[in-house]
C-alpha cells in the first residue's frame, strides 16, 4: 500500500494491494456533500452557528505534521461548547472542509462515496458541537 494512505483502507479483493478508487465529477461530489448537509435534521442544522462548509481536492499537511497525513474532512474553529459571551464579537466563521480526492481514493462505487461523504460531514459537524474523536469512534462515526 502506498505510504501516502493510512493502513487498513479497502483494497481490491485478490488483486494488488492498491486501494480502490472511484471517479466522480466535482459537481457530483459537491451534490453528495450538499445532500449530506440537507440530511442533517432541521433542529440540529439551526443550532449550527457561524460555520461554513468547503470542498477542497486534498489536504496538505502543515509544517511539523506527518507528511503522510491523509484527512477526509477537517473542522477548524471554536466548538459551540467552548464559546464564551465574547466569541461573537468579530469572530470568523468556523470552517468544515471535505477533501474530495482522499474520499474517492477509498471508495469503489458511487454509493460508497455518498456514504463516506455523509459520515465525514456528520463527523465534522459533531466537532462543531464539541464532540471529540474518541466519542465519535464510540458512536460509530469515527
CA angle 54, 57, 60 (to 5 degrees): 95
CA angle 37, 83, 99 (to 5 degrees): 35
Asked whether 22 and 108 are in contact (CB, 8 A), the reply is: yes
* C-alpha closest to that of 123 among 93, 89, 98, 92: 98
Residue 114, pLDDT score: 96
Query: How confident is the model over 80-132, as pLDDT tens digits?
Result: 888 877 776 777 889 999 999 999 999 999 999 999 999 999 999 999 999 99
Strand runs (DSSP E) across the chain, as ranges?
A: 51-56, 73-76, 94-99
Residue 84, pLDDT score: 78
What's the pTM value of the predicted model, to 2 decimals? Answer: 0.81
Residue 136, pLDDT score: 87
Amino acid at each position: 500500500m502506498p505510504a501516502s494512505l493510512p493502513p487498513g483502507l479497502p483494497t481490491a479483493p485478490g488483486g494488488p494491494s492498491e486501494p480502490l478508487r472511484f471517479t466522480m465529477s466535482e459537481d457530483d461530489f459537491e451534490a453528495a456533500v450538499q445532500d449530506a448537509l440537507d440530511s442533517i435534521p432541521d433542529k440540529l442544522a439551526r443550532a449550527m452557528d457561524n460555520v461554513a462548509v468547503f470542498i477542497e481536492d486534498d489536504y496538505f499537511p502543515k509544517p511539523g505534521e506527518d507528511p503522510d497525513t491523509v484527512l477526509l474532512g477537517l473542522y477548524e474553529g471554536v466548538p459551540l461548547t467552548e464559546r464564551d459571551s465574547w466569541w461573537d464579537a468579530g469572530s470568523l466563521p468556523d470552517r468544515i472542509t471535505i477533501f474530495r480526492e482522499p474520499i474517492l481514493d477509498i471508495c469503489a462505487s458511487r454509493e460508497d462515496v455518498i456514504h463516506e461523504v455523509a459520515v465525514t460531514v456528520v463527523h465534522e459537524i459533531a466537532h462543531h458541537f464539541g464532540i471529540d474523536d474518541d466519542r465519535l469512534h464510540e458512536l460509530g462515526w469515527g
